[in-house]
């Protein structure tokens, strides 16, 4: 008779069956649904943002081919009319126009550009370079705080 403590009574360690990777536990399903919902939310916000900035892209495209000061000023005014209520923008001219431009963007409006936009179109006063005006207008188009368009 064998002794219960004999080495001949030893057996291999019984290993459990491997844990299957599919189907995942309920927590993983919940995490997957939450991540998918978050991705859809982010994508929809990005899509709405991209669509709401269409007027900015169109204005910048037009501005890139504008050479005359009157064209640049027209693009600026049309962009402002698209981004803000007509009642707030349409009647602005002169000092009120440059003041409003200053208020709607976090960038300094150079004096020469302000004078050109206020009076230069009609009085023949111009910046030394229309590129300065175009540069400010491009910056304003990209960075203004817009209303509803």
Extended beta strands in 33-93, E state: none
pLDDT-based confidence at 120, cuts 50/70/90?
Answer: low
pLDDT-based confidence at 67, cuts 50/70/90?
Answer: confident
3-state DSSP assignment of residue 97: helix
**What confidence score (pLDDT) does residue 128 get?**
61
Integer angstrom CA distances of residue 1 from 4, 44, 142? 9, 78, 94
Q: Is 49 a residue whose pLDDT tops 70?
A: yes
CB 54 within 8 A of CB 116: no
DSSP conformation class of 57: H
Rounded Cα distance between 24 and 12, Å, is: 31
Rounded Cα distance between 26 and 133, Å, is: 60
**What confidence score (pLDDT) does residue 126 get?**
54
Rounded Cα distance between 125 and 129, Å, is: 11
CB 116 within 8 A of CB 126: yes
What is the rounded average pLDDT for all residues in the chain? 88
CB 68 within 8 A of CB 146: no
Average the pLDDT over 73-83 and give the result: 94
pLDDT-based confidence at 27, cuts 50/70/90?
Answer: very high
**What confidence score (pLDDT) does residue 125 get?**
56
pLDDT-based confidence at 11, cuts 50/70/90?
Answer: confident
What's the pTM value of the predicted model, to 2 decimals? 0.74
Q: Is 92 a residue whose pLDDT tops 80?
A: yes
Q: Is 129 a residue whose pLDDT tops 90?
A: no
Rounded Cα distance between 53 and 5, Å, is: 82
CB 63 within 8 A of CB 138: yes
């Amino acid at each position: 008779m064998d002794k219960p403590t004999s080495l001949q009574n030893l057996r291999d360690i019984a290993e459990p069956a491997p844990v299957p990777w599919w189907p995942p536990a309920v927590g993983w399903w919940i995490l997957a649904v939450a991540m998918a919902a978050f991705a859809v939310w982010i994508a929809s916000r990005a899509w709405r943002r991209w669509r709401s900035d269409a007027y900015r892209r169109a204005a910048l495209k037009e501005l890139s081919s504008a050479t005359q000061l009157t064209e640049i000023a027209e693009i600026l005014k049309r962009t402002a009319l698209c981004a803000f209520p007509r009642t707030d923008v349409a009647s602005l001219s002169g000092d009120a126009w440059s003041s409003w431009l200053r208020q709607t963007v976090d960038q300094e409006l150079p004096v020469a550009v302000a004078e050109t936009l206020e009076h230069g179109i009609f009085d023949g006063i111009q910046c030394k370079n229309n590129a300065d005006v175009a540069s400010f207008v491009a910056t304003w188009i990209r960075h203004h705080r817009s209303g509803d368009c």
